[in-house]
Amino acid sequence: MTYATLDTKNTNELYLKRTGWFSREMELTDNTNNYGKIKYHRLSNRIGTVITAANTWIFKRAENSGRHISVTDENGVEIGTATRDMFSRVTTLSLQTGFVAKFYKPSFWSLHYVWESDTYGKILDINYAWLGLSATVNIDQSMAPVSLIPLLTFFGSYLVILKKRRNAGIVRGILPIFFGTGSAKR
Protein backbone atom coordinates (compact mmCIF):
# COMPACT_ATOMS: atom_id res chain seq x y z
CA MET A 1 0.00 0.00 0.00
CA THR A 2 1.26 3.48 -0.79
CA TYR A 3 0.89 6.29 1.70
CA ALA A 4 0.45 10.02 1.17
CA THR A 5 2.93 12.60 2.44
CA LEU A 6 1.59 14.59 5.39
CA ASP A 7 1.06 18.33 4.87
CA THR A 8 0.32 20.01 8.20
CA LYS A 9 -0.67 23.29 6.54
CA ASN A 10 -3.76 21.62 5.07
CA THR A 11 -4.37 19.04 7.80
CA ASN A 12 -4.36 19.72 11.52
CA GLU A 13 -6.56 16.83 12.71
CA LEU A 14 -5.64 13.20 12.13
CA TYR A 15 -7.03 9.89 13.34
CA LEU A 16 -5.29 6.74 14.48
CA LYS A 17 -7.64 3.88 13.70
CA ARG A 18 -7.24 0.21 14.45
CA THR A 19 -7.89 -1.80 11.30
CA GLY A 20 -10.03 -4.39 13.14
CA TRP A 21 -11.07 -5.53 16.61
CA PHE A 22 -8.26 -8.05 16.96
CA SER A 23 -5.80 -6.45 14.56
CA ARG A 24 -2.29 -5.45 15.62
CA GLU A 25 -2.21 -2.59 13.10
CA MET A 26 -3.22 1.06 13.40
CA GLU A 27 -3.40 3.50 10.50
CA LEU A 28 -2.87 7.26 10.55
CA THR A 29 -5.51 8.94 8.40
CA ASP A 30 -7.51 12.13 7.94
CA ASN A 31 -10.45 10.11 6.53
CA THR A 32 -9.28 11.04 3.02
CA ASN A 33 -5.66 9.91 2.82
CA ASN A 34 -3.63 7.32 4.72
CA TYR A 35 -0.29 8.59 6.00
CA GLY A 36 1.16 5.39 7.44
CA LYS A 37 0.62 2.48 9.76
CA ILE A 38 2.13 0.86 12.83
CA LYS A 39 2.21 -2.90 13.21
CA TYR A 40 2.93 -4.57 16.54
CA HIS A 41 4.88 -7.83 16.43
CA ARG A 42 3.58 -10.84 18.33
CA LEU A 43 1.38 -10.55 21.39
CA SER A 44 3.87 -8.77 23.64
CA ASN A 45 3.84 -5.50 21.63
CA ARG A 46 7.51 -4.97 22.53
CA ILE A 47 8.38 -4.22 18.91
CA GLY A 48 6.46 -1.86 16.65
CA THR A 49 7.21 -1.16 12.99
CA VAL A 50 6.01 2.07 11.42
CA ILE A 51 5.73 2.48 7.66
CA THR A 52 5.10 5.92 6.14
CA ALA A 53 5.54 7.42 2.67
CA ALA A 54 9.12 8.52 3.35
CA ASN A 55 10.40 6.45 6.29
CA THR A 56 10.27 3.18 8.16
CA TRP A 57 10.96 3.18 11.90
CA ILE A 58 11.23 0.35 14.39
CA PHE A 59 10.45 0.88 18.08
CA LYS A 60 11.89 -1.68 20.45
CA ARG A 61 11.69 -1.77 24.23
CA ALA A 62 14.84 -2.90 26.03
CA GLU A 63 14.79 -6.53 27.16
CA ASN A 64 15.56 -5.88 30.82
CA SER A 65 13.98 -2.47 31.32
CA GLY A 66 10.66 -1.01 30.32
CA ARG A 67 12.01 2.50 30.72
CA HIS A 68 14.36 2.51 27.71
CA ILE A 69 13.17 2.30 24.12
CA SER A 70 15.27 2.51 20.98
CA VAL A 71 14.10 4.01 17.71
CA THR A 72 15.85 2.66 14.62
CA ASP A 73 15.42 2.96 10.88
CA GLU A 74 14.78 0.02 8.55
CA ASN A 75 18.53 -0.70 8.34
CA GLY A 76 18.88 -1.06 12.12
CA VAL A 77 20.69 2.27 12.60
CA GLU A 78 19.61 3.89 15.86
CA ILE A 79 18.15 7.33 15.26
CA GLY A 80 16.97 8.01 18.80
CA THR A 81 16.19 6.76 22.27
CA ALA A 82 13.39 7.32 24.72
CA THR A 83 13.73 7.12 28.48
CA ARG A 84 11.36 7.39 31.41
CA ASP A 85 12.64 8.10 34.89
CA MET A 86 11.61 5.90 37.79
CA PHE A 87 8.16 6.86 39.15
CA SER A 88 7.71 9.45 36.41
CA ARG A 89 4.88 9.81 33.90
CA VAL A 90 7.05 11.75 31.43
CA THR A 91 8.89 9.98 28.61
CA THR A 92 11.68 11.93 26.91
CA LEU A 93 12.49 11.20 23.26
CA SER A 94 15.97 12.25 22.10
CA LEU A 95 16.81 11.93 18.41
CA GLN A 96 20.30 11.94 16.87
CA THR A 97 19.41 15.18 15.08
CA GLY A 98 19.26 17.01 18.43
CA PHE A 99 15.46 17.07 18.62
CA VAL A 100 14.17 16.45 22.15
CA ALA A 101 10.49 16.16 23.09
CA LYS A 102 8.51 15.04 26.13
CA PHE A 103 5.43 12.83 26.05
CA TYR A 104 3.14 13.05 29.05
CA LYS A 105 -0.41 12.84 30.30
CA PRO A 106 -1.51 16.20 31.78
CA SER A 107 -4.20 14.67 33.99
CA PHE A 108 -4.09 11.35 35.79
CA TRP A 109 -7.71 10.55 34.90
CA SER A 110 -7.85 11.61 31.26
CA LEU A 111 -7.05 9.75 28.05
CA HIS A 112 -5.33 12.87 26.70
CA TYR A 113 -1.58 12.87 25.92
CA VAL A 114 0.74 15.69 24.82
CA TRP A 115 4.01 15.91 22.88
CA GLU A 116 5.92 19.02 23.92
CA SER A 117 9.38 20.34 23.15
CA ASP A 118 11.39 23.05 24.87
CA THR A 119 12.41 24.37 21.44
CA TYR A 120 9.04 24.23 19.61
CA GLY A 121 6.52 24.28 22.45
CA LYS A 122 3.41 22.10 22.29
CA ILE A 123 3.56 20.00 19.11
CA LEU A 124 0.50 17.76 19.18
CA ASP A 125 -2.24 16.23 21.35
CA ILE A 126 -3.45 12.64 21.20
CA ASN A 127 -6.93 11.92 22.59
CA TYR A 128 -7.86 8.26 22.96
CA ALA A 129 -11.34 6.79 22.94
CA TRP A 130 -12.38 4.69 25.95
CA LEU A 131 -12.03 1.34 24.20
CA GLY A 132 -8.76 2.34 22.54
CA LEU A 133 -9.85 1.47 19.00
CA SER A 134 -9.19 4.99 17.75
CA ALA A 135 -7.47 8.22 18.69
CA THR A 136 -7.73 11.80 17.52
CA VAL A 137 -4.47 13.65 16.86
CA ASN A 138 -4.57 17.46 16.93
CA ILE A 139 -1.48 19.08 15.43
CA ASP A 140 -0.55 22.50 16.81
CA GLN A 141 0.80 24.89 14.22
CA SER A 142 4.29 25.09 15.65
CA MET A 143 7.60 25.31 13.82
CA ALA A 144 8.34 21.62 14.49
CA PRO A 145 9.57 19.73 11.43
CA VAL A 146 6.67 18.19 9.50
CA SER A 147 8.61 14.96 9.01
CA LEU A 148 8.53 14.36 12.79
CA ILE A 149 4.73 14.51 13.15
CA PRO A 150 4.12 10.89 12.00
CA LEU A 151 7.03 9.67 14.14
CA LEU A 152 5.69 11.43 17.24
CA THR A 153 2.14 10.24 16.58
CA PHE A 154 3.07 6.59 16.13
CA PHE A 155 5.61 6.64 18.96
CA GLY A 156 2.98 8.15 21.29
CA SER A 157 0.62 5.34 20.29
CA TYR A 158 3.37 2.80 20.99
CA LEU A 159 3.96 4.29 24.47
CA VAL A 160 0.25 4.20 25.31
CA ILE A 161 -0.03 0.55 24.23
CA LEU A 162 2.98 -0.36 26.39
CA LYS A 163 1.45 1.48 29.34
CA LYS A 164 -1.88 -0.34 28.93
CA ARG A 165 -0.08 -3.71 28.80
CA ARG A 166 1.95 -2.84 31.88
CA ASN A 167 -1.16 -1.77 33.81
CA ALA A 168 -3.03 -4.92 32.77
CA GLY A 169 -0.11 -7.01 34.02
CA ILE A 170 -0.16 -5.22 37.36
CA VAL A 171 -3.90 -5.80 37.75
CA ARG A 172 -3.52 -9.49 36.84
CA GLY A 173 -0.84 -9.78 39.52
CA ILE A 174 -2.83 -7.99 42.23
CA LEU A 175 -6.27 -9.60 41.75
CA PRO A 176 -5.25 -13.04 43.09
CA ILE A 177 -3.90 -11.37 46.24
CA PHE A 178 -7.30 -9.85 47.04
CA PHE A 179 -9.58 -12.58 45.72
CA GLY A 180 -7.47 -15.71 46.13
CA THR A 181 -6.39 -18.13 43.47
CA GLY A 182 -9.77 -19.79 43.16
CA SER A 183 -8.57 -23.14 44.45
CA ALA A 184 -9.73 -22.66 48.04
CA LYS A 185 -12.87 -24.50 49.16
CA ARG A 186 -15.76 -22.44 50.38
* pLDDT of res. 179: 65
Q: How many CA atoms lie within 13 A of 44 on its CB side?
A: 8
The conformational region for residue 42 under phi > 0 = left, psi -120 to 50 = alpha, else beta, is: left
Cα-Cα-Cα-Cα dihedral sign, residues 9, 10, 13, 19: negative
Which residue in 37, 36, 60 sits closest to 48, CA to CA? 60
* pLDDT of res. 184: 45
Tell me the C-alpha distance between 40 and 24, whole Å.
Answer: 5
* pLDDT of res. 169: 62
User: Which tens digits make up the pLDDT trace of 58-110?
Assistant: 999 877 776 899 999 999 999 999 998 888 889 999 999 999 999 999 988 88
Burial 83-102 (b: 16+ CB within 10 A, else e): ebeeeeeebebebeeebebe
Alpha carbon dihedral 30, 38, 60, 162, in 10-degree steps, equals 70
- In the chain, which stretches have pLDDT less than 70? 43-45, 66, 131-132, 165-172, 175-186
* pLDDT of res. 176: 67
Domain coordinates in residue numbering, the chain: 13-175
* pLDDT of res. 56: 94
Residues 139, 11 contacting (CB under 8 angstroms): yes
Which residue in 11, 5, 2, 39 sits closest to 23, CA to CA? 39
Tell me the C-alpha distance between 120 and 62, whole Å.
Answer: 28
- The secondary element (H helix, E strand) that includes residue 169 is helix 148-179
Q: In one letter, which amino acid is 117?
A: S
